[in-house]
Structure 1
Amino acid sequence: MALPPLASLVDFTQPTLWLAIGHVVFNPLAWNIIAQNEYRKKTITRLVGTPHRGVALLGTAIFVAGLSRDLVFAWAMEHQPKLDTLDTPLVKYSGYTSIALGLLFVLSSTYRLGLVNTYLGDYFGLLMDRRVTEFPFNVLEHPMYYGSTLNFFGTALLRTSPAGLLITLSVAIVYQIAQGYEGDFTGKIYAEREKKE
């Protein structure tokens, strides 16, 4: 059975689609630019007085931006066509499995890093004693990014939404790019500490 053309699966004229993709692109771009500026110029720390307050401020902003992105993602899917062939028990189980695995990666990463380092505390000079190598970091280099992507994928499957799958693809691409520059920069921070020691 052939799939219908892409234009009938995704309504590209719907503004909520582009708003969702915009959120997906903006969030990691913004938090990485802000965090790298903080590392170089200490702008947030000077503004709020201490690195811990700075992490709390940036972490709150990242969390709220993530909630906004998730709401817009759900909103975008409501305004898009559904694909009835995805409405099967196998697809539903795959969606639930994807979300469960995604949550496992995100929550276990947060547990291992703690809130300070989950929200880029190392850019504020709040470095961990050593690199985390326990699960999930022994399975994936960037488990939070992969976990988040799995959550988007599972949600799109449960909503039987081709547009949701397209937005998930944009999440995967943006996070792949973010992993490159965030991972390199974080590595540089810890390498500089080792030189000083």
Structure 2
Amino acid sequence: MLAVESIVDFNQTSLLVSLLFIAFNPVAWNIVAQNEYRNKTITRLFGGNARYGCYFLAVMIFSFGMFRDSLYHRALLDQPQHAILPAPLKTIAPAVLFLVGQVFVVTSTWALGVTGTFLGDYFGILMDHRVEGFPFNVLRDPMYVGSTMSFAATALWLERPLGLFITVYVYIVYILALRYEGPFTDMIYSKREESRAKKA
């Protein structure tokens, strides 16, 4: 059994920065998106063009996501290294985990499109119907699950046990974010259906 001090170096600032940024991203985008739904702040910045506003937010979310990943990678490199899996699993398992995770992320984005992936419904860009094909017929939130799998794969590949604990933290953050994101999105589509029913 590894002692705590042998798997985590609390003196590394990169660890705290990574943890803060992992939490910042979903919280920030939920706040920004809900503000957009109520006040159309970003849409107004683009002269009333909701689609341009959504594309702008998509670039911001993607860029901050890449930055978050780089901070996580940096934080892991600053932490103690220990063998987690025996050879050849120590290379095969993280590679497969990362590949499957990325398949979930990429196919989710493909199925939803840019506006469906990057909170277009908060801009009033609603999908005609719920996406039920792969990977949504396998997982309810494949993008979040795929992202979490990639965090775990990185920890296993770099042989940083702390990364597996951070992965659990990532998943908890996603679950909490979904508690706000899911019901709010459902409310948006419910209002559309009510509006359609009144016009019928």
TM-score, scaled relative to structure 2:
0.94
* Runs of 4 or more consecutive aligned structure 1 residues displaced over 2 Å after TM superposition: 84-88
- Counterpart in the other structure of 2:82: 83
1:123-161 CA deviation, whole Å, 9 max, x = no partner?
000000001011111111111000000011011100001
Asked whether 1:93 is paired with 2:103, we answer: no
Range that drifts further, 86-95 or 40-49: 86-95
Provide the secondary structure at the position in 2 that maps to 1:190: helix
Shift of 1:88: 2.8
Name the CA distance, whole Å, in 2 between partners of 1:55 and 1:115.
Answer: 8
Provide the secondary structure at the position in 2 that maps to 1:127: coil
Superposed counterparts of 1:177-192, under 5 Å? 177-192=176-191
Name the CA distance, whole Å, in 2 between partners of 1:130 and 1:152.
Answer: 31
1:73-127 CA deviation, whole Å, 9 max, x = no partner?
1111111101124353213211111101101110000000001111100100000
| Count of residues paired in the alignment | 195
Residue segments in structure 1 that go unaligned for 5+ positions in a row: none
Name the CA distance, whole Å, in 1 between partners of 2:164 and 2:124.
Answer: 38
Residue type of the partner of 2:58? G
TM-score, scaled relative to structure 1:
0.96
Residues 87 and 160 in structure 1, CA contact (< 8 A), matched pair in contact too: no
Q: Percent identity?
A: 48
RMSD: 1.1
Range that drifts further, 76-85 or 37-46: 76-85
Residue type of the partner of 2:137? N
Residue segments in structure 2 that go unaligned for 5+ positions in a row: none
Residue type of the partner of 1:77? L
Provide the secondary structure at the position in 1 that maps to 2:16: helix
Name the CA distance, whole Å, in 2 between partners of 1:124 and 1:101.
Answer: 31
- Counterpart in the other structure of 2:113: 114
Name the CA distance, whole Å, in 2 between partners of 1:84 and 1:105.
Answer: 27
